Amino acid sequence: MIMPYVLKYWETYFWLFLLLFSSIGLTFFFTWFLQHMIDAAIRRNVSEVRTMLMYGVLFTVLSSLISYFSTYLEAAAVVKVRTDLKNALFHHMMRLPAKYYGSHHSGEMVSRLTNDANGIDGAIGSNMLNVIRLPIMALSAFIYLFQINGKLTVICLALGPIAALSGLVFGKLLRRYSKVVQESLGKLNSFLNDSFAGYTVIRSFTMEKKIYKQYETINGGLMSLEFTLAKLRGWFQAGAGSAGALSFFVCLGVGGHYLMEDSMSVGDLLAFINLVQHLVYPLTGLAGMWGAFQRSVAAMERVQEVFNEPPETRTLPSGEPLPEFKGSIEMKDIRFSYEGQTNALDRFNLMIPAGKVVALVGPSGAGKSTLFNLLMGFYKPQTGTILFDDQPIHLLSSSQLRGCTAYVPQETYLFDGTIRQNIAYGKDGASELELIRAAKEANAHEFIMSLPNGYDTEIGERGVRLSGGQKQRLAIARAILKDAPILLLDEATSALDSETEHQVQEALDRLMKERTTIVIAHRLSTIHHADLIAVVDKGRVIEQGTHHELLSKKGLYARLYQIQYSKERDELEMNKSG
């Protein structure tokens, strides 16, 4: 998964590897310098000491330069790869089907893009470089040390595998617990997302203490997991540190014995003690590196899980664009269920002529919203066919299908940003004139211009700084700007006061003109003039006709209408008496 992103910046990694080998070379140069400097000082060879000091200055300069460029290039490589990965992940998530979004919390998906994507740093930076550096360092150190004293080298080498073995044992545990921590962070993000989005409900029901207790519980569980990880990392460090300390004392003790026997010089011993760490550390370091790598692997696995989800695949076999769409829609024997549950649509049949207004009515759970999801391609029917101008929609690409439709939901969703940006989402590259015209047709221009910054007014998250009617009119302006031949309207006036409803309804009338319109009707009094009313119950059309035709049939529509009419009449009388 990672390698394609790493290979894209092969030049940066090439220089990193070159600097890595230069750093290894300088390590051995310093060992040689220390060995000869000490021996020259003991021999009181002033000329050689001066020469070695000049080498020391050169070593310091080169070491500083290599350290700087290594740190900078590693950080640059990690940032570039991580950014590309996040871009690819977000692009993939934007193409995932609605089914995925329905089964995953938004906070969990944010966690994949933040905590998990950031957690891969070790696998594309220092840990990846150490996979190459440490074995080379160990092999080179062994050869160099063996030339100084072969017996002492073999003794010290025997200590390294102890730490390496511990890395294999604890590495699996680290990977397991790291993945659990990442999952807990995802749950925490989901909880926070819900808490901040629903703050008005929390405060109105005085749920602050309850929510805080829940947060405290989740956070406490995460803390416990992180403590476990800290203990595992501590055992890693303890094992590595013990092996390093043991090698130092072995070198000092055995090397001191060789020094007394004159089989080693003082310079040889100090050089050996300095370099032996580079023989033992790669083996102990591999343990620590393995543990860190396992944490990165756990993050990569969670990112890979998202990449493994298949995106929407709707393509035109011929690659030809769809001819100009007139607007007729036909649904033939549609069956659909969510996750194998009871059919939301069951043998659903409906013909919608181009340019007509068709209203869908029926009790809650009848399948009206499901039909909208199918028409926009969010889900596919298990059986049956949906035709746009006699063209099966499964032959259309996602962009072609949704380019045919404009959707105005009952609960308007606006993005954090300006009014201009939110309307402009309806059409890429829309001119200022087009944008203003759409706002005027939506009865939104007047209230927009009354705001301090007009079209550049910031509306806040979900349009929190606007009223319900203002948000609805912006959504309508966005749909007008899109100018799609099919309008899907989840009745947008049911929660508005009378004056605002009138303004929104005027805008909707303009939007519906000369478009094929499907309305989910919550208030039957608003659809008297629909060209066709389809009554939906238990996933199928059980009645259809005009308002007067359906009333004369005295079926479900007539009963629903009578119930609403009586309720509205009672409310009107109560208002008059009040």
What digits encode the pLDDT tens for the residues 157-171?
Answer: 776 666 566 656 666
> What mean pLDDT do residues 528-540 have?
87
Q: What pLDDT does 125 receive? A: 76
Average pLDDT taken over every residue of the chain: 79
Instruction: Kindly tell me if the per-residue pLDDT of 494 is higher than 60.
Output: no
- Between 13-22, 80-89, 209-218, 542-551, the lowest mean confidence (pLDDT) is in 209-218
Instruction: Kindly tell me if the per-residue pLDDT of 423 is higher than 80.
Output: yes
Q: What whole-number percentage of the chain has pLDDT above 90?
A: 2
> What is the secondary structure of 106-152 as a DSSP string?
HHHHHHIIIIIHHTTHHHHTHHHHHHHHHHHHHHHHHHHHHHH-HHH
State which CATH number among 2.30.30.110, 2.40.50.100, 3.10.450.50, 3.40.50.300 fits the domain covering 329-541.
3.40.50.300
Q: What pLDDT does 170 receive? A: 64
Q: What is the pLDDT of residues 193-203, one digit of tens each?
A: 777 766 656 66
Which pLDDT band, with edges at 50, 70 and 90, does 392 fall under? confident
- For the entire predicted model, the pTM comes to 0.72
Q: What whole-number percentage of the chain has pLDDT above 70?
A: 85
CA distance 398 to 376: 8
Which pLDDT band, with edges at 50, 70 and 90, does 315 fall under? very low
Q: What pLDDT does 351 receive? A: 92
Which pLDDT band, with edges at 50, 70 and 90, does 409 fall under? confident
Instruction: Kindly tell me if the per-residue pLDDT of 435 is higher than 70.
Output: yes
Q: What is the pLDDT of residues 461-488, one digit of tens each?
A: 777 888 888 888 888 888 888 888 888 8
37 neighbors 52 (Cβ within 8 angstroms): yes
Q: What is the dihedral sign for C-alpha 141, 146, 149, 155?
A: positive
Q: What pLDDT does 318 receive? A: 40
Q: What pLDDT does 433 receive? A: 92
Instruction: Kindly tell me if the per-residue pLDDT of 276 is higher than 50.
Output: yes
Q: What pLDDT does 161 receive? A: 67
Instruction: Kindly tell me if the per-residue pLDDT of 573 is higher than 60.
Output: no
Parts of the chain belonging to CATH 3.40.50.300: 329-541
Instruction: Kindly tell me if the per-residue pLDDT of 314 is higher than 60.
Output: no
For 361, the enclosing helix (H) or strand (E) is strand 357-361
- Between 4-18, 50-64, 112-126, 548-562, the lowest mean confidence (pLDDT) is in 112-126
180 neighbors 225 (Cβ within 8 angstroms): yes
218 neighbors 191 (Cβ within 8 angstroms): yes
Instruction: Kindly tell me if the per-residue pLDDT of 259 is higher than 80.
Output: no
**Number of alpha carbons in the 13 Å side-chain half-sphere of residue 89:** 25
> What is the secondary structure of 456-476 as a DSSP string?
G-B--GGGTTS-HHHHHHHHH
Q: What pLDDT does 290 receive? A: 64
Which pLDDT band, with edges at 50, 70 and 90, does 117 fall under? confident
CATH architecture observed for domain 3-307: Up-down Bundle (1.20)
Parts of the chain belonging to CATH 1.20.1560.10: 3-307
Which pLDDT band, with edges at 50, 70 and 90, does 569 fall under? low
Q: What pLDDT does 109 receive? A: 80
Which pLDDT band, with edges at 50, 70 and 90, does 319 fall under? very low
CA distance 390 to 190: 43
Q: Would you state the structure tokens that stand for residue 77, as one six-digit string? A: 């490589």
For 74, the enclosing helix (H) or strand (E) is helix 46-94
Q: What pLDDT does 220 receive? A: 83
Q: What is the pLDDT of residues 128-181, one digit of tens each?
A: 777 777 778 778 888 887 888 877 777 777 766 665 666 566 666 766 777 777
Which residues are CB-contacts of 497 (< 8 A; sequence separation ≥ 6)?
469
Q: What is the pLDDT of residues 322-365, one digit of tens each?
A: 457 777 889 899 998 887 677 888 888 999 888 888 989 888 87
CA distance 477 to 557: 32
> What mean pLDDT do residues 96-121 have?
79
> What mean pLDDT do residues 311-320 have?
53
